[in-house]
Amino acid sequence: MASSQLPYELILEILSRVPSQSLARFRCVCKPWCDLIHDSSFSKLRVFRAIERGDDVVNLLVHKNILVSKKQLFKNKVQTTHNIIDSKGNYISFGDGAGLFRKSLIYYVEGTSFDFGFEVENPFSKSFSSIGSNIAGSCNGIVCLVRDNVVCLWNPCTAEYKIANFNEDIYLHMFILGFGYDASKDDYKIVWIYNSGKYECKVNIYSLKDATWSTMSKVPYEIQNKLHEPGIFLNGGLHWIAKSKVSCYEIVICFNVEENVFREIPKPDCVDERAHIILGILGRQLCMLSKYFGTDIEIWVMKDYGQNDSWTKLFAIDETIMGYAKNSYPSFDEQYPTPLCFANNDEVLLRDDRGLLLYGSEKKSAKNVKIHGIGDGFYHCAVVTHVPSLVSLHSGTYMGTDHEDERKVNKRMFKGPDK
């Protein structure tokens, strides 16, 4: 039966449930399908369908800043007047003053086995910086990268990207970052925070839609972000661990990106107020890892978001199973595992500074996950979950194109927030 004979509503329902990889090919079927797939309302419908089905995120983005030696830099390289260009055409700049230079690599890991990662082109690969780039977060299939005073929104599935260049030296990599979506205004927002004093911080919010800044000063929280992880975006809010004058212990706070307000989310009643906590998302639910001296590592999820009595303990992990010393306590240089997503059967994928771990609650066992193609060492890596989508940024710029007009950077100059 020809597609023209099917009701539009039926075509919409069918395509909204098709995997992103197949949908990308279906754009070539006919022009009406292509127009539908690129429509922003259709992209939102697909995100809603995924949430409705309870799909868990099993794809990962691994962002890695590596050091390149001077010998490696000049081997098989072409030197221009101002920059060094490698054999792939990527610029690398002089950086650390000791013959070392930084370059950012991004790998995509698909499936539930997490055994292979392939490198994808970094939108910043045509630029250069001695500090590399960082991931500020991911939502609706859009990834937010930052480098110096430059922000890049990027869809790895479509290779579309959009760059905003601040005309002030803000150096976003030095701050606590968050990236979220304001559904009420169909707007992506970037949040960067710095602790301005004891139990006090300053918050800056940038609207990608309006290209405007707003600032909140003397917010009564001190964000705890020793591991430089981006804020956890869920249910319209960015979540962090913080401390306040009211409580010198770690608490959970949420910044609503629609209303630009903070609120506290109570911890489970059974969790010691002195416990060290880490946030994540499991099965599209807010997840908390808690650990205090003499206790097991506990994994909790909030079944009904915002309801304190809905906190449910999934399981407790003996820290020795994870390879930690008994009764060890998290220190500045020690990263306890961060929950990433559910994997096969009863397994949960976690990460720490040694790499990825799969923990099985039934067998009460953990095993290291080796991702071929990425290399060892996760201490300086950012790992975020990614929901594949075809959401468009309407920028007209794509990675890997040979068309000069599409290679031009889509820059929007604007005044940054007051320092």
10-residue stretch averages of pLDDT, the chain, 419 residues long = 69 79 76 78 68 61 72 45 37 48 76 72 65 80 84 86 72 79 92 88 88 88 79 94 88 94 92 89 89 85 92 88 64 66 79 80 82 67 79 83 38 40
State the pLDDT at residue 143: 92
Which segments of the chain belong to CATH 2.120.10.30? 56-386
State the pLDDT at residue 287: 93
Q: 414-417 long-range CB contacts below 8 Å, 24 or more apart?
A: 414/164, 414/166, 414/167, 414/211, 414/212, 414/213, 415/167, 415/168, 415/213, 416/149, 416/166, 416/167, 416/168, 416/170, 416/213, 417/170, 417/204, 417/206, 417/213, 417/215
State the pLDDT at residue 264: 94
State the pLDDT at residue 168: 59
**Block residue for tokens 């919409």:** 12
State the pLDDT at residue 82: 33
- Give yes or no for a contact between 419 and 166, defined as CB atoms under 8 angstroms apart: no
The pairing of beta strand 365-369 with beta strand 160-166: unpaired
State the pLDDT at residue 85: 37
Report the predicted TM-score, pTM, of the whole model to 2 decimal places: 0.76
* Cα–Cα dist 246/266, whole Å: 13
- 3-state secondary structure at position 102: strand
* Cα–Cα dist 355/203, whole Å: 32
Please give the CATH superfamily to which domain 56-386 belongs.
Answer: TolB, C-terminal domain (2.120.10.30)
DSSP readout, 18-69?
S-HHHHHHHTTT-HHHHHHHH-HHHHHHHHHHHHHHTPPP-EEEEEEEEEEE
State the pLDDT at residue 261: 94
